[in-house]
Chain A
Amino acid sequence: MKDKTGVPQGTLALMVLKTLDVLGPLHGYAIARRIEQISGDLLTLNQGTLYPVLLKLEQDGSIASDWGTSDTNRRARFYRLTRAGRKQLGAETANWEQTTAMIGRFFAVQAEDLK
């Protein structure tokens, strides 16, 4: 199954983790905004899809959340990375790099190389 927005399954969670890792605690809107910015607007995200992902991460214990006040003085829920989340991010990053490296090699292969 593919996400409507073209975000590959599971990658959104990884993006959320990385964003929180780099920028510290953020509320949902800011996370969505950052992801769009970082992906250079290549990725159009249905921002609502973020919330089930946030809940899943919270249930897993990778992130935690608290009510707080945003820059614009609004009440907002802030998400932050937990220790378990940081560990998970490390593992997933390594995993992801390995996968992309492998896929990259596959695409680089020419017919002659296998002869």
Chain B
Amino acid sequence: MRTLRRALRRLTSWMTTARDEQRLQAEIAEHLALLIEEKMRAGLSPEDARRQALLQFGGVEPMKERYRDQRGLPSMETLTRSTRHALRRLRMAPSFTFTTLLILAIGIGANSAIFSVVNGVVLKPLPFPHPDELIAVNHAAPGVNLANAGTAPFLHFTYHDQARSFQEIGLFRWSETAVTQLAEPETALSLNVSAQVLPILGVPPLLGRWFSESDDAPGAPLTAVLTYAWWQARLGGDPSAIGRQITVDGVPREIIGVLPASFRFQDRDAAFLLPLRLDRSKTVLGDVDFEGLARLKSGVSMEQASADLARLIPIALHSYPAVAGFTVKAFEEVRFAPRLELLKQNLIGDLSKTLWVLMGTIGIVQLIACANVANLLLVRAEGRQHELALRAALGAGWHELACDLGMESLALGLMGGVLGLGVAAAAIRALVAIAPANLPRLHEIAIDPAVLLFNFAAGIASGVLFGMIPIFKYAGPRIAIALRGEGRSTTDSRQRQRARGALVIVQVGLAVILLVGSGLMIRTFQALRNVDPGFDPKGALTMRISIPVAQVRDPAAVLRAEQGILDKIRAIPDVSTAGITTVIPTDEGGGRYQVYVRDKVYDKVPPLRRWKFISPGLLGAMGNRLVAGRDFTWTDIDDSRAVAMVSESLARELWGDARQAIGKQITPNQKDPWREVIGVVGDERTDGMQATAPPMAYYPLFMTSFNAAPVFVARTVSYVIRSKRTGSEGLLADVQRAVWSQNASLPVAKVRTLDEVYSKSMQRTSFTLVMLAIAGAMALLIGVVGIYGVISYAVSQRRREIGIRMALGASPRKLSGIFVVNGMILAAIGIACGLAGSAALTSVLGSSLFGVSPLDPLTFALVSLGLIVTALAASYIPALQAMKVDPLEALRSE
């Protein structure tokens, strides 16, 4: 207790130094005046009295010194003094300070930048109240081999009525809509929700109100809630928009509310929210293309909720009739199982792992930078060793010397942190620019308090890290030994050399790990580029249109409109070929359905397959291969011939060989007539280059008696246009004119070249690649500087020895060889350690790699070779200096 109080007082008195000095001064003056008076009363002359008084009082200055010792917190004072000295010393060595700060600023800045990404994407909670209660409710369907099959109204209604784990549960799905009656027709993204979704998210409306239960009822008047951005952009942020109407898919809807600017759901730019208006009485088993959202009751775990829903699934299956053409049993065999995850997890998916790998990578770069700075500091401390020993001999405590050395490092670390923040701000901009467009929560990446804290913690931690090494080397208890040696003239002690060598080995080793990592990513990228996508991404443009029911009711008229646009596009000069499809490979979209084969007996539902609806000539426009048979023709469509095509992998799976497929009969729904397989299409990498091509069924754009409906037409379609003018503004304008000359209120959406779509599918790989390559390059550069520094310092330290050897007749070549060998030994040990480390660590890249083993011998060999060559250069250049040493001068300079 008393020690505590004393420490506290010392601390406060340290802060009131000036006042205390004054007080002491006054007391001394007072004391002396009284003493002098006393002496004068005893009859002494004023001078004598004064002399006597001073004698009796004793030495004023030593007393003050002791008084101050007693007063202050000595370590605190040492600290401020050390800081002042450290800053002064740094000012006096501008080139050292500049180099060090540059290394640190880049290192810390890069770390803060990546951390800001990790923070924004992974760590920050979602912008809803109690976000840890929000969960995405979906289902796995192992019976049809689907990891995530979403959810369906029949499940939602059952859960809503009977589940015990949720405060509330809702249903939603995204759709693209056409908005007309504004300045230009436009395709807008709509989030279609049940009435519970907004209350679950807990977002209050900025204007107006949420959907009520009655808005969500079937047959209720049509309503819409706008997002802030769309309200601003299209209606100028006019508050009187509430109550006005917008035309969505040809139908007017009343605007009843506007969401706040902060609202963002599943990271997509919705234009507005529309009520789902599901009809319970028409609910059937099926319609599994929704997503679920729920808010957990507090205290309920995910496992409990999952068990709760698992119990309800059989009840749901027996509460509603199966969709036409299926039995309840068929749905039981799908084996729905609840798939619950936090809404945030649902959003960021497997990205967090990639980001943590990047964070680790950049952390390694910082370690290398620290090792390098530690080396520079060692060299500096070396120069001060005589001074330090002298101070130790004169009574400076070792902690005082340590404080002195440590302050320099800490000051460097902190200043590096400040500069690093600037680097981070610039790096974040660059990062956001090159980041994959599908990186979720991109807009949340910013320098916020967490990033600031991280930045300065990184600065201080680095300062402590590289500050420790010279402290242990030079401020240790055996410091005085240095005095015995003559300091300057002796050759560097073996032990010191070893410390610097060890740091270089660490640097090289870590650099190897990073370079191997980026090498593997380069190989992955190459492998992806070499994968045959099954289509030709070069020289084709795609764009999308959608014809809503409200605009054109008759399916045959829809087909005529689509065909009319196609004809007009084909007539554009330089367009070689064009086609219509519902799925662009590697892009989102595309449904799945069963494929039944005639004469095969099914005791359970066959697995879901991808399907797409295409026009004749699409295969040519996409650059697909026709493996067997023939393409659809317009006659097939006009005559309503029951035809279909399959992908090569589906043909092989069902009949063993592509040619066997021709003439076989399939259908998606056993109620339909059988369709004859007339062609087999080469496999397309629809899910991206990493994933194997999914088996796919191809149907014509327009069919009669398809999937239990009398007439089918694809209303949302993409045009694929092959032209040598792809990417030019002129072609784009021509295409737009072609569409609008057919129907002036059709919005043209998603205009991109096929190559853009294709590159985007590899964006995450290229992002990881660029990041790793930058980290690897930085590591290599710093590592090389490290080797160079150590060798050139060794040469400068051993000038005298070199001089003597030369004087005794050693050849300069042989002498420089010593240094090169020295550097190469360090590099070799570093490379060996690095390769071992890589072998252990590259498995974390696992899922990011494609077509290359984590232990790829070529990458390992090339990285080793590359490092050996650079290390050779880095040690050869300073070694040349050794050859230039003039023996006479070297000996005389001592």
Contact = CB atoms under 8 A, between A and B. Distances in A.
Interface of A: 4, 27-29, 32, 46-49, 51-52, 55-56, 59-61, 70, 72, 74-77
A59 B70 contact: yes
Contacts of B57: 46-48
Nearest to A31: B31
B9 A51 contact: no
A98 B2 CA distance: 24
B71 interface: yes
A55 B10 CA distance: 11
B5 interface: yes
B601 interface: no
B70 A47 contact: no
A74 B33 CA distance: 10
A51 B58 CA distance: 12
15 contacts: A4-B58, A28-B30, A32-B31, A47-B31, A47-B57, A48-B63, A51-B27, A52-B67, A52-B69, A59-B5, A59-B6, A60-B2, A60-B5, A60-B6, A61-B5
A27 B10 CA distance: 23
A55 B33 CA distance: 21
Contact of B10 (A28, A59, A77): A59
User: Chain B at the A interface: mostly helix, strand, loop or mixed?
Assistant: helix
Contacts of B60: 48
Contacts of B23: 77
A56 B59 contact: no
A29 B31 contact: yes
Interface of B: 2, 5-6, 9-10, 13, 23-24, 26-28, 30-31, 33-35, 37, 56-60, 63, 66-67, 69-71
A66 B326 CA distance: 98
Given A59-B10, A75-B30, A76-B30, A51 B56 contact: no
Nearest to A53: B70
Given A55-B67, A55-B71, A60-B2, A48 B30 contact: no
Contacts of A74: 30, 33-34
A32 B13 CA distance: 25
Contacts of A60: 2, 5-6
A77 B63 CA distance: 18
B70 A52 contact: yes
Contact of B24 (A4, A51, A72): A51
Given A59-B6, A60-B2, A74-B33, A49 B27 contact: no
A28 B33 CA distance: 12
B66 A52 contact: yes
Contacts of A72: 34, 37
Nearest to B3: A60
A55 B35 contact: no
B30 A56 contact: no
Given A28-B27, A46-B57, A48-B58, A55 B6 contact: no
Contacts of A77: 23, 26-27, 30
A27 B13 CA distance: 21
B63 A52 contact: yes
Nearest to B24: A51
B503 to A, nearest CB: 44
B31 A55 contact: no
Contacts of A56: 70
Contacts of B6: 59-60
B56 A46 contact: yes
A72 B41 CA distance: 14
B70 A27 contact: no
B9 A59 contact: yes
A49 B31 contact: no
Contacts of B24: 51
Contacts of B2: 60-61
A48 B28 contact: yes
A72 B30 CA distance: 11
A56 B5 CA distance: 12
B58 A46 contact: yes
Given A29-B30, A29-B34, A60-B6, A47 B58 contact: yes
Contacts of A75: 26, 30
B234 to A, nearest CB: 73
A79 B847 CA distance: 77
Residue from A48, A49, A75 with most neighbouring chain B CB atoms (10 Å): A48
B56 A47 contact: yes
A47 B557 CA distance: 115
B63 A27 contact: no
Contacts of A49: 58, 63, 66
A60 B27 CA distance: 20
A47 B31 CA distance: 9
Nearest to B63: A48
Contacts of B31: 28-29, 32, 47
A76 B33 CA distance: 11
Given A55-B70, A70-B34, 18 more contacts: A29-B30, A46-B63, A47-B58, A48-B28, A48-B58, A51-B67, A52-B70, A55-B71, A56-B70, A59-B5, A59-B71, A61-B5, A74-B30, A74-B33, A76-B27, A76-B30, A77-B23, A77-B26
Contacts of B26: 75, 77
Given A52-B63, A56-B70, A29 B35 contact: yes
B618 to A, nearest CB: 91
Contacts of A46: 56-59, 63
Contacts of B56: 46-47
Contacts of A70: 34
A52 B65 CA distance: 9
A72 B38 CA distance: 12
Contacts of B67: 51-52, 55
A28 to B, nearest CB: 5
A4 B316 CA distance: 98
A68 to B, nearest CB: 11
Nearest to A5: B58
Contacts of B35: 29, 47
A76 to B, nearest CB: 5
A114 to B, nearest CB: 41
A49 B64 CA distance: 9
Contacts of B10: 59
A51 B5 CA distance: 20
A52 B519 CA distance: 68
Nearest to A76: B30
A27 B30 contact: yes
Contacts of A51: 24, 27-28, 63, 67
Contacts of B70: 52, 55-56, 59
Nearest to A55: B70
A104 to B, nearest CB: 30
Contacts of A27: 30
A20 B59 CA distance: 25
A42 to B, nearest CB: 15
